[in-house]
Structure 1
C-alpha cells in the first residue's frame, strides 16, 4: 500500500511541476500552438539549413532517431518528423493485449495539429517566436545544452546512470517537464551516452534553433524526373482488370522499397496507394496493412517523393528503368491468361496471396519475386518485424539460400496444386492484429502439416515420373542474376541479407520455392503489424518456424536419403520433443533418393561446393577480402580467423565494424560477424539454454555488413596481424576488454565521431546506393 501511495504522490508532484512549468512558459512566451511556427524562410536561411544544420542532424542525431525504434518516436530523418515531435507511447511493446493505433510518419497524420491530437509533443518552440523563447522552449536545444553542460566523459565505460538496453524505460518528456528531467537525469543530454557535439556543431544548431528552427520545403522534382514519374504512373494504372490486378500485386510486394528513377541519388520514391489518379496531388490511403480495404472505388498507384534521409537499416533500394519494366512485362504478360474479376479486400482473401492472385500464373509471380530475391528476403529483415530478439531467433546465425528453378518447377500442375492448397496456406494476418496465440498456433500447425503432406506426395510422384532430384532443380540466376545465392546473418536481435555465398560453410541452408517465398513476404512483411498485440506477434514468430523447417527440408532433399534424418537430428539437438515429433514426422519426408553423385564422405560440404561451382557465373564477391586494398599477407591473416572456433569468441559482440587506417588515414572498412552456435533454434524464450559457445565462429568481410554495429574499432594497417592474434587468442572476458583497450573506439572515445564519419564515407564510396546512416542504438558499453 505504501509503495502505491509513493507512486501516486510522485505522479502528483510531476503533474504539478509540469502544470507549473506550463504556466511559467505561457506567462512569459504565450501559449503553445503549431501555428506560431508558420513563418517564411529566406533563401539564406534555407542554404544555412541545407549546408550546415542538416549535415549535423544526419550524422549526429539520425543514427539513433530513425524508423519505428526511434526513442520516443522522435524521427529526425525529415523536417516533418522534427515538426511532429515525440510521444510517450511505445511502438514496440511485447506485452500489449490489444493492437495499438498506428502512428506512422507521413501516413497516419498529415499535419502537426493532427499529431498533437494524437498525443505527440513538440521538440521545437511553438510559443511566441523570439530567440529566448526558441531556445528555452525547444527540447532539441535543451537536450544538446544538457549534454554540453556535462562535458567530456571521465571514464571509458559509463556507469549505471545510463541504460542502453533496447527495452529501457524511456523518458519521453515534454518541454514543460524538462526542468524536472534535468534534475532527475543530469547525464541524459543528447547525443545520449556519446561524445558531445563540438563547439562548432553546437553553435550551428543553437543559432538555427534560436532563429526558429526553420526548415525549407523539399526540393521540387526536376522536369525530367516529373516526366519519368508520369511514365511509371501510367504504366502502373492501366484500366483493364489484368492491369489492375498486376499493379496490386506489384504494390503489395514493393511498398517498402526506395525507388530510384535512373542514376541520381537526390530523389527517392515510395510506391503508395492514392485515391487520386496520376496528374493530381497524391491523397495517400492510410491502412494498417498494404492489402487492407482502401475504402475507395478505384485505387491508384503513385510514386511519392520520399524526403527522409537514407537510413541503412530500413533502406531497400530498387532502380526503376526500362529494362526492369520489360522484364515485368515478360513475367506478367508473356503468357496468355484471363483475369475475370478483381479480388476483394476481405481478410480471408486479401491476407492469402494464393487466393487473391490466383488468376496470375504462379510462374509469373515467382519470376517477379526472383528477379529481386535479395530484396524480397531483405524486406523481412529491414521491415518492422526485425526489431527484437524474439522476432529473429527463428533463424540461424549464418546460412545460405538458394531457389528452385522456375523453368522446371512451375507449370499447370503446380498451379492446380496451389489451388487445391489455398485454405492450408492461410497465415496469421487472417486474424487481424488481435490474435489468441495458442488456439491460433494449433490451427496453423494443422494446416501446415496438411500442406506439407500434400507437397511431399506431389514431390514423390513428380520425381518418380519426370524429374531428376539433382542440381538442375536449383535456379542459376539465368546466368546473370546475382540474386540466385544469398547469405543471411543473424546478429542476435537483428539480421542482414547479402548476395553471394559469404563466409565459411554454414550449419544449415535453405532452398526456397514459390509458395515458401510468398509466405515469407506475407507473414513477415505485408501481414505483420508492428502495432499488433502480443498474440499476433507471437503467432507470427511461431509460424515462421514452419517456414524455416520447410526451407531446410527442401535443401536436405539434395543430399542422399540416408543422410537426411541424421543431419536433421544434428540441427535440432536437444529440441523439445513436440518439435522433434513435428520435424521427423512422415508428412515432411520424401522417400526419393538424390540423383547427385557424391565422391567424398562429407556430402553436405561437397554439395556446397557443387552449388558454388554451378553458380560461379553469378556469385557476388563484393564482400570478399581479396577485393579490399589490403596486402595479401594481411588478408591471409584475417581469413585465418574464420578457422577459429570456441575459446573466447563468445565474448565478442555480434557485429564489430573496423576502420583500417594507413598512417592514420582511412583506408578500408571491415566487418567481423560473430556467428553464435546453438544446439537448436526452436526455443522461443529461453535461447540461452540452447547456446553452444564452444562451437562459435566468426566471419570477416570487406565493407560494412550489419546495419547496427555493436562496437567500432580502429586498426592501423601495420597492426592488422597483431589484431588478428589478439582475437584468435581470446580466452576470457577480460581478454576482450584488453582488445577494446588496444583497438576499441568505445562510445566514450574522444575520436568516436571522426571514426564514425570515416566509416560512413567509405561505406558510401563502397556501395553508393545501398549504403545509408548506420544505427547506433545497439552500441555496447563495456
Structure 2
C-alpha cells in the first residue's frame, strides 16, 4: 500500500511523515477508496503470538520490549481500571486487546458478564466473542500491514507526531483527566476519526512521548510481527515445590478437603512465592522472587494441565464433581496495586497442618455451594476449629486486610468511603477464642452473621438493607449479652484482651532457644486515599482519630464482604449493599476499641467521631446497656484517655512493632529536624496537598531516599452514602510523612536536593491557596508534562525495587494530577 501511494502520489507521499501516512492509510477503508478491511489488509487470522521460550524472538521480547511496555504502558494499563480494559502486563492481555465497556460503572441495573483475564476466557478467539478487539495486526503478516493495521502502533505514532504542548500544565479543553474521564477506545476502523478529533490523545496519554530509541524498538517489533514470549520452564526445585503443595492441598480425606477449601477462599488473590525464609519475621529477600503463582480451582487434578473453574466468586458452585486446588504460574508484570506477596515453604505447610490437620476433630461432610451456605463462612466452615481459622488470618493479618484494598476494589470509592483516612487496627488475643462456648456462640449466631453476598450480584437495596440491618442488630444484642455473662463486673477487660503478637503454640515449639517469633501483624495502619487505600504493619503516623479492635468474627466478615463476595461486575444494588454493610463492621471495630476506655470517654468520642450523624447511629456505636457502663480494668491518669491508651498499646506491643516507616530511624537527626515539621501541617496547607505524593531527596554524594507524603482528610462522620464531600472538614486535614513508598497511585512527584529540603518543607507549611501550590510545584515537582518525567519515574521504580524488593511493583499513573 505504501509503495502504491509513493508511485501514484509522489508529492503527497513526501508531504507526510511516515506516521501520518499510516493514519491516512488506516482511514482508507472508511473515508476514501471504498475498500473493505479484508481487501486492504487481508483476512483475519488469530494466532498465538507467544514464541518458543528459548527462541531469539522470545528473548528479544523479554529483554528489549517488555521493559518498555512495563515502564511506559503498564503504569496505566494494569488492573480492572485500565483504560478500555487493555491490560498490557502479560502476553495474554496484549493478545486479548481492548473493550469499550466500562468495568467500573456505578449505574448498572443488572450485573455484567465478568471479563477477568485468564479466567472468563482462555483464548483470543473467545475474547473476540466477548467484544474485545485487537490492538495488534491480526490480518496479513507483512511488515507494512503489521504497522498500518495496529491500533497500538497508531497510538504511539499519534503521540510521536503530536507531543505534549510546551506549557507546564495541560489545557482542560485538550485533555480529559481523572478516573471518570470518557473513554474513546477506537478500533482500527475508527482510528482515523479519533486522530482527527483528538490529535493530542496519543499514547502514553497525557504524558511525555517515548524516547526515540523506545519508539524505534517498539516500531520495529510491531513491524516484525510483535512476537511475544512463552514462559521458560520452571527450575526443577520450583516445580518440585509446586508438586509438593498440590499433593498436600488435594488429599482425599474430608478434613483436608475442607481445610483446602478454606485456604483457597482466603488466598485466591495472593501472589504466592517459594522461599525458605522464616515466616512472620520481617526479613526481606535480597531480590524479588522470580516466580509467582495464583491458587486456583481446577477441574483437573495435579499432573494434568490446569483448567481453571470460572466462577464469579471463589465459593460459587464449580459445576464439576470435584475441584482440585492448583498453583497456576503468574508471569504477568508485578503491579503494585494488585501485588500481595505470600510466602510458601515447609514451615508454612507445618503451620497449616498444626492449625487444621493435626488437632483431633471430625469433619463428617463437605458443605454445599448454595449461596446461603457458601456465602456464610460461619456455616460453611463450622466444622473447622474457630481458633485455627482465626490464627490462619490473624498471623497474616496485613495480607488479609490488604485483600479488600488490592483485591476486587482496586478502584473503589463506594466501598472505601466507609473508612477514615488514617486509623490503627489491633486484634483480640486468640486465647479469648479458645473457649468452646465461643465456637458454639458462632454456630448459634450463624444466621445473624449472614452477609449480603448471598443475594449474589443483582441485589436490591431497600429490602436487603432492612434485613441485614436487623440481623446485625440481633447479633450485637447476643454478643453484648454473652459479654455480660463472661465479664459480669466489666473489670476483666484490660490490655490482655489485645493480641501481643505471639504465634501459634505449635509454631513456637519449633523455634530456637531464643524464644517465640514475634509477629509484627499485631498492629496495622490503614491509610485511605479517597478511592484507594494502603495497609502497612505498625502504628504509623500521628495519633489517628479512630482505631479498631478486631476479633475473629469481624475479621472473617470483612474478608468475605469485601474480598470473597465482592463482585466488581455486580449491579449498583450489590455495590451499595456492600458499602452499607461495611458501616456496621466499621462501627463494630470502633466499638471494640471504645470498650478499652472509660464510659465517659466512650460517649465523648462517639459524639466526636459521628458529628452530625443521627442519634441511632451513635447509639449503635456505644451501647448504653448497663453491662457496658462499667469501666475497664485499665488505669488512666491524663485528661486525654484516648492518647494515653494509644501509648499503652504501643508499650504493650513494643517487642513486635514494625519500624520500617519510623522516620526517626531512617534519616539523620538534621533531616529529622526538618522533615518532622511536615507532620505538624494541618488545615488549609494540608488540604492543598495531593492525596499521595512521592518525595525523592538527593544528597551531595548522589544517594537518594524516597518518602511518601500523605494527606489525611477530615470528616464529620462517614455514615453518608454517596455524599462524602458534604461531611468533609478541611480544617481537620493533616499530613503524614513516612520513609519509603506507601500507596500505589501517586498524585504528584517531588524532587529535592538535600540542601533545599528546608525550603521545600517551608513551602508546604506555608500553603494558603492554589497560587502558593503552583509556586511550590514550579520549584520542586516533576509534573506529568516534564520532559524528564520518565527518567524520574524510572528512578523511583528502581529505588522501590532495590529497597523493598518483595513488595515493589509498578505504580499506577491514572491519578496523576495536572496542577
TM bucket by the smaller chain?
Answer: over 0.9
- Select which of 311, 314, 323 maps to 1:299: 323
Q: Quote the Cα distance in structure 2 between the aligned partners of 1:701 and 1:601.
A: 29
Question: RMSD across aligned C-alpha pairs, in angstroms?
Answer: 1.9
Q: Quote the Cα distance in structure 2 between the aligned partners of 1:45 and 1:708.
A: 33
Give the equivalent residue in structure 1 for 2:453: 429
- Select which of 119, 123, 140 maps to 1:111: 123
User: CA, structure 1 residues 588+23, in 2 after alignment: closer, same or farther (shift >3 Å)?
Assistant: farther
User: Is 1:394 aligned to residue 418 of structure 2?
Assistant: yes
- Match runs of 1:18-37 below 5 Å: 23-35=35-47
- Match runs of 1:79-228 below 5 Å: 79-160=91-172, 161-228=174-241
User: Is 1:651 aligned to residue 675 of structure 2?
Assistant: no
- Select which of 752, 755, 768 maps to 2:805: 768
Moved more, 512-521 or 584-593: 584-593
Contact kept? 1:672, 1:698, Cα under 8 Å:
yes
SS in 1 for 2:736: strand
- Select which of 560, 583, 591 maps to 1:522: 560
User: Is 1:695 aligned to residue 708 of structure 2?
Assistant: no
Contact kept? 2:489, 2:627, Cα under 8 Å:
no
Give the equivalent residue in structure 2 for 1:755: 792
Contact kept? 2:29, 2:35, Cα under 8 Å:
no
- Select which of 751, 762, 765 maps to 1:714: 751
Give the equivalent residue in structure 2 for 1:511: 549
- Select which of 335, 338, 345 maps to 2:362: 338
Q: Quote the Cα distance in structure 1 between the aligned partners of 2:404 and 2:387.
A: 22
SS in 1 for 2:231: coil
User: Is 1:257 aligned to residue 270 of structure 2?
Assistant: yes
User: CA, structure 1 residues 39+414, in 2 after alignment: closer, same or farther (shift >3 Å)?
Assistant: closer
Give the equivalent residue in structure 1 for 2:371: 347
SS in 1 for 2:735: strand
Q: Quote the Cα distance in structure 1 between the aligned partners of 2:68 and 2:473.
A: 54
Deviation by residue 1:63-90 (Cα, 9 ceiling, x = unmatched): 0001111110000000000000000111
Give the equivalent residue in structure 2 for 1:5: none
Shift of 1:552: 0.1
User: CA, structure 1 residues 663+176, in 2 after alignment: closer, same or farther (shift >3 Å)?
Assistant: farther
Give the equivalent residue in structure 1 for 2:585: 547
Give the equivalent residue in structure 2 for 1:639: 676
Give the equivalent residue in structure 2 for 1:283: 307
Shift of 1:664: 8.6
- Select which of 613, 617, 620 maps to 1:575: 613
Contact kept? 1:399, 1:509, Cα under 8 Å:
yes
Q: Quote the Cα distance in structure 2 between the aligned partners of 1:541 and 1:19.
A: 49
Deviation by residue 1:422-460 (Cα, 9 ceiling, x = unmatched): 101111110010011111111100001000111111111
Contact kept? 1:37, 1:129, Cα under 8 Å:
no
- Select which of 473, 484, 495 maps to 2:533: 495
- Match runs of 1:579-594 below 5 Å: 579-580=617-618, 582-584=620-622, 586=624, 590-594=628-632
Query: Any stretches of 5+ residues in structure 2 without a counterpart?
Result: 1-25, 276-284, 503-516
User: CA, structure 1 residues 596+95, in 2 after alignment: closer, same or farther (shift >3 Å)?
Assistant: same
SS in 1 for 2:705: strand
Shift of 1:692: 1.1
- Select which of 737, 748, 771 maps to 1:734: 771
Contact kept? 1:274, 1:299, Cα under 8 Å:
yes
Q: Quote the Cα distance in structure 1 between the aligned partners of 2:50 and 2:780.
A: 49
User: Is 1:323 aligned to residue 323 of structure 2?
Assistant: no
- Match runs of 1:665-704 below 5 Å: 665=702, 667-704=704-741
Q: Quote the Cα distance in structure 1 between the aligned partners of 2:27 and 2:220.
A: 32
Shift of 1:577: 4.7
SS in 2 for 1:154: coil
SS in 2 for 1:668: strand
Q: Quote the Cα distance in structure 2 between the aligned partners of 1:636 and 1:37.
A: 56
Shift of 1:95: 0.3
User: CA, structure 1 residues 20+607, in 2 after alignment: closer, same or farther (shift >3 Å)?
Assistant: farther
User: Is 1:558 aligned to residue 596 of structure 2?
Assistant: yes
User: Is 1:453 aligned to residue 499 of structure 2?
Assistant: no
Deviation by residue 1:29-48 (Cα, 9 ceiling, x = unmatched): 20223149687798222222
Moved more, 727-736 or 385-394: 385-394
Give the equivalent residue in structure 1 for 2:282: none
Shift of 1:663: 4.1
Give the equivalent residue in structure 2 for 1:6: none
Contact kept? 2:710, 2:736, Cα under 8 Å:
yes
SS in 2 for 1:425: coil
User: Is 1:274 aligned to residue 287 of structure 2?
Assistant: no
Moved more, 383-392 or 505-514: 383-392
Contact kept? 1:153, 1:195, Cα under 8 Å:
no
Deviation by residue 1:467-506 (Cα, 9 ceiling, x = unmatched): 8100001001116111000000000111000000000000
Contact kept? 1:657, 1:672, Cα under 8 Å:
yes
- TM-score, normalised on structure 2? 0.91
Shift of 1:23: 4.0
Moved more, 659-668 or 768-777: 659-668
Give the equivalent residue in structure 2 for 1:9: none
User: Is 1:365 aligned to residue 403 of structure 2?
Assistant: no
Q: Quote the Cα distance in structure 1 between the aligned partners of 2:562 and 2:414.
A: 13
Q: Quote the Cα distance in structure 2 between the aligned partners of 1:36 and 1:537.
A: 37
SS in 1 for 2:74: coil
Shift of 1:16: 12
Q: Quote the Cα distance in structure 2 between the aligned partners of 1:18 and 1:460.
A: 76
User: Is 1:61 aligned to residue 73 of structure 2?
Assistant: yes
Contact kept? 1:19, 1:176, Cα under 8 Å:
no
User: CA, structure 1 residues 677+337, in 2 after alignment: closer, same or farther (shift >3 Å)?
Assistant: same
Q: Quote the Cα distance in structure 1 between the aligned partners of 2:524 and 2:29.
A: 56
- Select which of 637, 651, 674 maps to 1:613: 651
SS in 2 for 1:369: helix
Q: Quote the Cα distance in structure 1 between the aligned partners of 2:83 and 2:627.
A: 47
Contact kept? 2:414, 2:575, Cα under 8 Å:
no
Contact kept? 2:238, 2:274, Cα under 8 Å:
yes
Q: Quote the Cα distance in structure 2 between the aligned partners of 1:68 and 1:35.
A: 25
Query: Any stretches of 5+ residues in structure 1 without a counterpart?
Result: 1-13
- Select which of 599, 603, 613 maps to 2:637: 599
- Select which of 305, 327, 338 maps to 1:314: 338
SS in 1 for 2:181: coil
